[in-house]
Structure 1
C-alpha cells in the first residue's frame, strides 16, 4: 500500500507540473517574444515521459485513482488548446520564413545577371 501511496504522490506532482507548464505556455505563446518554446516543450516531454514510466509500473489500469482520471481529462483539454496554439505559432513562423525567402529572391533579381544567366553567357 505504501508503494501505491508513493506513486499517487508522484502522479499528483507530475500532473500538477504538467498543468502549470501548459498554463504558462498557453498564456505566453504568440504573445511573449522572449518565451522559449523549445525549453517549454522539453519540460512537457519530461512530464509525459515520467507519467509513462509510472504508468508502466501500475499493476492494472484499475489502480489509477478516479480523481486522476478527472485531472487527466482536464489536462487533455489543455493539451488540445496547446496543440492548436503551437500549430498556429508554427504556421506563423512558416509564413515569416516564406516572406523572407521571397524578399531574398526579389533582392537577387535586381536586374543584374543571375548566376544561371552568367553561366550561360560564359559558355557562349
Structure 2
C-alpha cells in the first residue's frame, strides 16, 4: 500500500503539494506514482524564475518503464528546484515526500490548492485505478 500523507493535497495526475509555513508550495510526485513508474532515471523541472500555471505541464519524470508529465497544482513563480535530482533522480523512489521533492512555487492564488484532492479523496481515486 502506498504512503499517503494526510497533511498534503493531491492531484489525480499523482503530484502532491505541501503548503509551507512561509506561504510557498512544495511539489513532488506521490509514493503511488513512483511505485508505478519503477526506477526513476531522470527528472526535468521548471527553471527558477519561470511561471507555472495550475493544471499545466511543468516538467517530466522518466523511469526505466515510462516518461510522465508533471503538472502544477498552483499558478506562480518557481522559487527553487531540487538540485539533488540532477545527479540522483532515484531519490524520488526512496524518498518521494521528503528528499525527492521537485520544485517550490510562490503561488499567485493560494485558493487554487482548494481544488486539489484531500488524502482521503486521493486514496479513493487510486483504489479505483
What is the TM-score normalised by the length of structure 1? Answer: 0.22
Structure number, greater radius of gyration: 1
Q: Which has the higher helix share?
A: 1
What is the TM-score normalised by the length of structure 2? Answer: 0.22
